[in-house]
Structure 1
Amino acid sequence: MKKKIKQIAIYGKGGIGKSTTTSNLSAALSEMGLKVMQFGCDPKSDSTNTLRDGKYIPTVLDTLREKKIVKAHDVIFEGFNGIYCVEAGGPAPGVGCAGRGIITAVELFKQQKVFEELDLDIVIYDVLGDVVCGGFAVPIREGIAEHVFTVSSSDFMSVYASNNLFKGISKYSSSGGALLGGVIANSMGSPFSKEIIDDFVNKTQTQIIEYVPRSVTVTQSELQGKTTIEAAPTSKQADVYRSLARKIAGHEESKTPAPLDTVELRKWAAKWGDYLLSVEQGNITSIGASI
């Protein structure tokens, strides 16, 4: 019987810690004995750096520009604990669609049946979530990824990007597109950050998969060009990523979210803004029913 490969996509706005989370997730999954491939889908091509001591690898698009014929193994590099690392890459600056690397790389790997050949257990697509263009939507639209997760903090622009992702998932959910596994709440630690993201998740009928606290351990590890799992394996932060890995490895049922429209999202954000101002001024000291 043919083994089913779990394919997931992790989205999030630039700078939210998406690649940090993804790389630590890959590292933790590999510790569990799973064969993992991390597929970087950001034109910056830096998704897999911390799995390879901070080193960049040649991208699929760069290699295609240099060679007429490319074998998938030309663009697959081994990282920490045997993780297979791939960077889709992007076009030359100012030219073409930034999502083209994803489309090209996915087609190349499909044609050459690389996932089956490597006997992978899980493939993780690390996808930029700021721009919902055709290329970046490929893992969702074409059902390449079975489950989608979004990394979000409680900051408005991060929530806004996640809500846009929910709209894309809802759009393609009836035509075989990927469904939402849930939200990875990142950078938890500032006042009311957990309450805000919990409320957003409740309003959009999804769930929190894991709360990931803000930690200097992550910064220290990345300055060494490593994941927290590799650089600080006994730290509390590493255990958080291991918990996330166990939950995602065991995740089976994803759903269609209920995104807010733009007006609803702005009203929701304004209510929280007013509430936090009242807290700062000392008028309110606990979470109110009005929020």
Structure 2
Amino acid sequence: MGKKTAKQIAIYGKGGIGKSTTTSNISAALVEAGYKVMQFGCDPKADSTNTLRGGEYIPSVLDLLRENARVDAHDAVFQGFKGVYCVEAGGPQPGVGCAGRGIITAVELLKQQNIFEELDLDYVIYDVLGDVVCGGFAVPVREGIAEHVFTISSADFMAIYAANNLFRGIKTYSSKGGALLGGVIANSINSDFHRHIVDDFVERTQTQVVEYIPRSLTVTQAELQGKTTIEAAPNSEQAAIYRRLANKIADHTESKVPSPLDAKELREWSSSWADQLIEIERKTQYVAVDA
């Protein structure tokens, strides 16, 4: 009987959206449930996995390659919370080279040395910077390394703009064997209008919201301890939300090609929501005055 094939998932999102926070909590929830999980950080800052390791940073693949011409891939794999495997692709020195090169180099190194098969993984989760879908950062999508892609977005325009750009990349590569979209993870959703904005966007782009995650002080407290919420506050409501999200991703099987908005459609869509929010604020002020 042959070894199982790991389910490969890529999670994209613009910088500062909570991508690594969410990804690390998904990894922690899956490993807590008994799965063998690798989190593969694909940000040049190499800080994807630190809350899985008590706040400790690990040397990236590119760090190791700068020191040695030949690297044993095992030296780039570290274990964290409940045995989760952590890898950081890293990036070039500031001002030198393509920031996406680390992803290409790191994936090739682990594949050449059969690390995925050796560790008998259930899940490999790529945490990918989604501000730009350039050559390096597009590798998990373009090469079909990931089977399913999820994007994290808030209701803010720049987060939705980045998500729409990712949709364009997925659509471009979909006919060439690229990964398909599983859906949107809506982060920092603390009001009805935040939820309505994201819902409207996914409806127009023919995708779905996988989970709504509120902004929570519990997450901040956990990260200040160098931990995921799953580890630091396992009985919290926020941890329950992350576990629910992890279960949905684990059970997900059918991804699809999204229908991104073009530049004109996106601008008109955002302008219409700007008008609606002004109207909501005006009504709120009237209610406050009447009270």
The interval holding the TM-score normalised by the smaller chain is over 0.9
Residue number in structure 1 paired with 2:74:
73
Residue number in structure 2 paired with 1:104:
105
Find out whether 1:236 has 2:237 as its counterpart. yes
How far residue 279 of structure 1 moved from its aligned partner, in angstroms, is 1.3
RMSD: 1.2
Instruction: Give yes or no for contact 2:13–2:131 (8 Å, CA) kept in 1.
Output: yes
What is the TM-score normalised by the length of structure 2?
0.96
For 2:223 and 2:102, the matched residues in 1 are separated by: 25
How far residue 68 of structure 1 moved from its aligned partner, in angstroms, is 1.3
Instruction: Give yes or no for contact 2:187–2:213 (8 Å, CA) kept in 1.
Output: yes
Residue number in structure 2 paired with 1:220:
221
How far residue 283 of structure 1 moved from its aligned partner, in angstroms, is 8.6
Change in 2 beyond 3 A, CA 1:284/1:203: farther
**Structure 2, unpaired ranges of 5+:** 287-291
Residue number in structure 1 paired with 2:274:
273
Residue number in structure 2 paired with 1:120:
121
**Structure 1, unpaired ranges of 5+:** 286-291
Amino acid at match of 1:267: E
For 2:285 and 2:158, the matched residues in 1 are separated by: 25
For 1:261 and 1:284, the matched residues in 2 are separated by: 35
What SS does the aligned partner of 1:169 have? Answer: helix
Amino acid at match of 1:156: F
How far residue 35 of structure 1 moved from its aligned partner, in angstroms, is 0.1
What SS does the aligned partner of 2:126 have? Answer: strand
How far residue 190 of structure 1 moved from its aligned partner, in angstroms, is 3.6
For 1:271 and 1:85, the matched residues in 2 are separated by: 43
Instruction: Give yes or no for contact 1:61–1:101 (8 Å, CA) kept in 2.
Output: yes
Instruction: Give the stretch that moved more between structures: 1-10 or 209-218.
Output: 1-10
Instruction: Give yes or no for contact 1:37–1:86 (8 Å, CA) kept in 2.
Output: yes
Find out whether 1:167 has 2:158 as its counterpart. no
How far residue 2 of structure 1 moved from its aligned partner, in angstroms, is 3.9
For 1:163 and 1:175, the matched residues in 2 are separated by: 20
How far residue 34 of structure 1 moved from its aligned partner, in angstroms, is 0.4
What SS does the aligned partner of 1:282 have? Answer: helix
What SS does the aligned partner of 2:283 have? Answer: coil
Instruction: Give yes or no for contact 2:3–2:120 (8 Å, CA) kept in 1.
Output: no
For 1:95 and 1:195, the matched residues in 2 are separated by: 42
Alignment of 1:54-73 (within 5 A): 54-73=55-74
Instruction: Give yes or no for contact 1:278–1:284 (8 Å, CA) kept in 2.
Output: no
Residue number in structure 2 paired with 1:132:
133
Change in 2 beyond 3 A, CA 1:283/1:246: closer
How far residue 284 of structure 1 moved from its aligned partner, in angstroms, is 11
What is the TM-score normalised by the length of structure 1?
0.96
How far residue 191 of structure 1 moved from its aligned partner, in angstroms, is 4.9
For 1:110 and 1:45, the matched residues in 2 are separated by: 20
For 1:267 and 1:40, the matched residues in 2 are separated by: 35
Instruction: Give yes or no for contact 2:150–2:185 (8 Å, CA) kept in 1.
Output: yes
Residue number in structure 1 paired with 2:10:
9
What SS does the aligned partner of 2:40 have? Answer: strand
- Post-superposition Cα deviations, 1:166-211, rounded to whole Å, max 9, x if no partner, equal 0000000011000000000000104500000000000000001111
How far residue 31 of structure 1 moved from its aligned partner, in angstroms, is 1.1
What SS does the aligned partner of 1:91 have? Answer: coil
Residue number in structure 1 paired with 2:197:
196
Instruction: Give yes or no for contact 1:132–1:165 (8 Å, CA) kept in 2.
Output: yes
What SS does the aligned partner of 1:233 have? Answer: coil
